[in-house]
């Protein structure tokens, strides 16, 4: 919620604590990676791309699930690789359609024409907002 609300400094403090101090106490590997990715995202959104890359480089992503690999690619602006993973993940797994459209994780990627094309290929275009996202004109209604 802090990331969505733009409270990046507080998010960084809490996620630094969660990732460094609580690192050995996470219930599962999924939670550990979730904290790590959100920590990297907090730094990215606050403009510290170097710290974001440093955090991501601390993890070997080869054994991570596709959702975490996608996050790494997006945060490092490797959009071609991210688009390939989006296609592999498809429409029925996480992240979901709403995540792609609303999550701060994808805010920079959403600005890319590659995102728009990939999103449309996976999900189709159903709403006015999605038509705007991919740059297609909405249907005009006669007066």
Specify the length of the chain in residues. 143
115-135 mean pLDDT: 73
The tens digit of pLDDT for each residue in 12-38 reads 888 888 777 766 666 688 888 998 999
| Crossing angle (nearest 10°) for helices 79-89 and 66-75 | 160
What pLDDT is stored for residue 23 in this prediction?
62
Task: Quote the pTM value.
Answer: 0.80
The tens digit of pLDDT for each residue in 55-77 reads 999 999 999 999 999 999 999 99
């Amino acid at each position: 919620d802090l990331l969505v609300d733009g409270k990046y400094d507080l998010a960084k403090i809490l996620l630094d604590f969660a990732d460094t101090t609580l690192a050995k106490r996470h219930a599962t590997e999924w939670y550990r990676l979730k904290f790590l990715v959100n920590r990297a995202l907090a730094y990215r959104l606050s403009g510290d791309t170097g710290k974001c890359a440093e955090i991501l480089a601390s993890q070997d992503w080869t054994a991570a699930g596709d959702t975490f690999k996608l996050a790494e690619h997006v945060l490092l602006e490797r959009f071609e690789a991210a688009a390939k993973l989006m296609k592999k993940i498809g429409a029925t797994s996480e992240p979901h359609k709403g995540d792609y459209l609303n999550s701060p994780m994808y805010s920079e990627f959403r600005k890319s024409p590659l995102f728009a094309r990939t999103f449309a290929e996976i999900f189709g275009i159903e709403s006015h907002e999605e038509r705007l996202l991919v740059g297609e004109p909405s249907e005009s209604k006669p007066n």
